[in-house]
A and B are shown apart, each in its own frame.
Chain A
């Protein structure tokens, strides 16, 4: 959407006069100022009261997980509303995780340097979301203390996993994803831990960050290997992130259930995951930049770009919904047709229309407007709307297909119990707790990568001219 006519007079110093776009980093920053700003959040003696309050609240909610899981272990999965015919998934949380890796990996490969400010907390978000996601399937197996039976290990029962099942694929996909995400995240933080070690005043902090930094000293040979490893990890994570959600969609698509058995599931799940993940990054980034005054480093350019990615992936999701409806008609399958009719107008039809409203109607009409894309408050509200929408998407897919299956005699309904709600809310508390701890204890924004984006990094020509003088001096 090119601007027409004369460019209006620019008063905002954040706008780059050459391009008319918002700057990725506010002008006037130096290596020292960005370091002080980011390290200052961690290395300060006075913890903000709002942080303390937030942590208290979040960890109290997180206790819900402890209570719900304890009761579950004592009583069994019967306490849940999750029973035949409707069984639930963890898809929402893991979907959120994907934007983190996407931001880190794919945008690194495409040399989209604007990602530098947001990749660290997007990765943290990934890892914490995967932690939350991991709870659900583990509990759903009924006897979580036997969860290790999923792994291939020699045992006295002489039993091995069955590798033709998508559920066994999931174990490997998600555990690999979690491991590689943690490694990528940690490797990214090593040089920044070095900075924190050097700047810390408190001996214990110096010691702890010193251990975490592995003795990083910024040697050029180290940096080159480090860059090479980062690029390789990004290259490995990109197909990984796509494969993980594809595998999860196979859980559905491989089943012969109406509304699930479709080839559009993998791409549409991946797009949906990225969509909800970026919404979650916005949900987290907007309060953080406000609270810690990081508007210079996480600028409107970032928000604008993230909104654009949401617009693109949201459109793919909309296409997926449209294609689902079309295929139900085009397949001429009685079962598919009934499933879609029931999904739209059946007893749970309200969920479908909330989904369309929150996931498609509101975001995809408004995000075309640049004014709204740089309106922080609007984006914040919208990110919640999209998260709700994506939650309903999974609800609709899982529940509406299952509660009216082929045999009318097995029809049932789904009604969540208080334990379902407690567990779900509890994971929210857990996620928030982990994220608050991360924001206080680790560098939220990668300092070394921000330094690389400053204009001072440019090597001025003319180094060769001085050569003659030097040789004479020798």
Chain B
């Protein structure tokens, strides 16, 4: 966790995704690592510029699905074979084809829930407070039509003056220092 006092980072505002991607790419090449883009819709090129490729969401989906399958199918087998065996039209107690549908539904249920909640958890949400909301132009723009690049103060390359000069060469609309 970065320290709670001082500034959180330097926030540059751009009008177009092209400028944002360019600035991000340059910042990465200049050695900045602790940085993040904020856009009103997913910009895959920005993620590439940040060198962010892998998410663990699919893994969570897979694990959830396996858990659901094992739980659901196992529960059915346990109930119908051991806990409460019933003779239904003389079919075997372990009527595996009949158990497929509920087992399948549980697989989907667990996989879906773990995907959704896994995504939220990996994103660190819900997080109702974030230093960026202190920036005056962030709330009005990041969720509507502006593109932001934030170079975080936690980065070893960060310096109040040099980072500002670095960002200025991309002629952003504004550069704001964000407080914690």
| Chain A residues within 8 Å of B, Cβ to Cβ | 30-32, 35, 152, 158-165, 168-169, 172-173, 176, 179-180, 183-184, 187, 191, 194-195, 197-199, 210-211, 214-229, 232-233, 236-237, 239-240, 243, 247, 250, 448-449, 451-452, 456-457, 459-460, 463, 466-467, 470-471, 473-474
Tell me if B115 and A210 are in contact (CB < 8 A).
Answer: no
- Contacts A162-B88, A163-B79, A169-B102 hold; do A473 and B169 have CB atoms under 8 A apart? yes
Residues of B within 8 A of A187 (CB): 116, 119
Tell me if A243 and B169 are in contact (CB < 8 A).
Answer: no
State how many angstroms separate the Cβ of A388 from the closest Cβ of chain B.
Answer: 31
A452 to B17, CA, bound (A): 11
Tell me if A470 and B26 are in contact (CB < 8 A).
Answer: yes
State how many angstroms separate the Cβ of A468 from the closest Cβ of chain B.
Answer: 11
| Chain B residues within 8 Å of A, Cβ to Cβ | 16-18, 21-22, 25-26, 29-30, 36-47, 50, 52, 55, 57-58, 61, 72, 75-76, 79-80, 83-84, 86, 88, 91, 95, 98-99, 101-102, 104-106, 108-109, 111-113, 115-116, 118-120, 122-123, 125-130, 132-133, 138-140, 142-145, 166, 169
Tell me if A160 and B83 are in contact (CB < 8 A).
Answer: yes
A152 to B88, CA, bound (A): 18
CB-contact partner of B102 in A163, A183, A184, A220, under 8 A: A163
A199 to B95, CA, bound (A): 57
Residue of B nearest to A254 (CB): B98
State how many angstroms separate the Cβ of A188 from the closest Cβ of chain B.
Answer: 10
Residues of A within 8 A of B166 (CB): 474
Tell me if B125 and A215 are in contact (CB < 8 A).
Answer: yes
- Contacts A225-B57, A232-B115, A243-B104 hold; do A218 and B84 have CB atoms under 8 A apart? no
Residues of B within 8 A of A232 (CB): 57-58, 61, 111, 115
Tell me if A225 and B119 are in contact (CB < 8 A).
Answer: yes
CB-contact partner of B86 in A32, A162, A195, A250, under 8 A: A162
Tell me if B50 and A163 are in contact (CB < 8 A).
Answer: no
Residues of A within 8 A of B102 (CB): 163, 168-169, 172
Residue of A nearest to B76 (CB): A163
Tell me if A173 and B80 are in contact (CB < 8 A).
Answer: no
Tell me if B79 and A239 are in contact (CB < 8 A).
Answer: no
State how many angstroms separate the Cβ of B23 from the closest Cβ of chain A.
Answer: 9
State how many angstroms separate the Cβ of A387 from the closest Cβ of chain B.
Answer: 28
A172 to B79, CA, bound (A): 15
Tell me if A183 and B113 are in contact (CB < 8 A).
Answer: yes
- Subset of 26 A-B contacts with CB under 8 Å: A31-B40, A32-B144, A158-B84, A162-B86, A163-B76, A164-B95, A172-B101, A172-B102, A180-B108, A184-B112, A191-B41, A210-B128, A215-B126, A219-B38, A220-B50, A222-B125, A226-B42, A226-B123, A227-B42, A228-B55, A228-B58, A236-B115, A240-B112, A459-B17, A459-B43, A470-B26
A214 to B121, CA, bound (A): 11
A172 to B109, CA, bound (A): 9
A366 to B133, CA, bound (A): 54
Residues of B within 8 A of A163 (CB): 76, 79-80, 98-99, 102
Residues of B within 8 A of A229 (CB): 57, 115-116, 118-119
Residues of A within 8 A of B132 (CB): 217
Residues of B within 8 A of A247 (CB): 101
A164 to B95, CA, bound (A): 8
Tell me if B41 and A449 are in contact (CB < 8 A).
Answer: yes
Tell me if A457 and B41 are in contact (CB < 8 A).
Answer: yes
Tell me if B91 and A224 are in contact (CB < 8 A).
Answer: no
Tell me if A223 and B39 are in contact (CB < 8 A).
Answer: yes
A177 to B88, CA, bound (A): 28
Residues of A within 8 A of B61 (CB): 232, 236
A177 to B150, CA, bound (A): 40
Residues of B within 8 A of A35 (CB): 40, 144-145
Tell me if A161 and B98 are in contact (CB < 8 A).
Answer: no
Tell me if B36 and A239 are in contact (CB < 8 A).
Answer: no
Residue of A nearest to B126 (CB): A214
A235 to B39, CA, bound (A): 25
CB-contact partner of B143 in A159, A169, A191, A471, under 8 A: A191
Tell me if A223 and B125 are in contact (CB < 8 A).
Answer: no
- Contacts A169-B101, A172-B106, A474-B30 hold; do A225 and B38 have CB atoms under 8 A apart? no
Residues of A within 8 A of B115 (CB): 229, 232-233, 236
CB-contact partner of B101 in A216, A243, A457, under 8 A: A243
Tell me if B43 and A220 are in contact (CB < 8 A).
Answer: yes
State how many angstroms separate the Cβ of A196 from the closest Cβ of chain B.
Answer: 9
Which 4 pairs from chain A and chain B are nearest by CB? Answer: A31-B145, A229-B119, A214-B126, A223-B42
State how many angstroms separate the Cβ of B155 from the closest Cβ of chain A.
Answer: 15
Tell me if A195 and B143 are in contact (CB < 8 A).
Answer: yes
Tell me if A179 and B26 are in contact (CB < 8 A).
Answer: no
Residues of A within 8 A of B118 (CB): 229
Residues of B within 8 A of A164 (CB): 80, 88, 91, 95, 98
A199 to B142, CA, bound (A): 11
State how many angstroms separate the Cβ of B127 from the closest Cβ of chain A.
Answer: 4
- Contacts A163-B98, A224-B44 hold; do A219 and B108 have CB atoms under 8 A apart? no
Residue of B nearest to A214 (CB): B126
Residues of B within 8 A of A216 (CB): 125, 143
CB-contact partner of A214 in B18, B50, B83, B120, under 8 A: B120
Tell me if A218 and B38 are in contact (CB < 8 A).
Answer: yes
A79 to B62, CA, bound (A): 48
A168 to B144, CA, bound (A): 47
State how many angstroms separate the Cβ of A127 from the closest Cβ of chain B.
Answer: 14
In addition to A163-B102, A184-B112, 18 A-B residue pairs with Cβ atoms within 8 Å of each other are A30-B145, A163-B79, A172-B105, A176-B105, A187-B116, A191-B41, A197-B143, A217-B132, A220-B37, A220-B43, A222-B125, A225-B55, A229-B115, A229-B119, A233-B115, A239-B108, A250-B101, A473-B169
A152 to B84, CA, bound (A): 11
Residues of B within 8 A of A165 (CB): 88
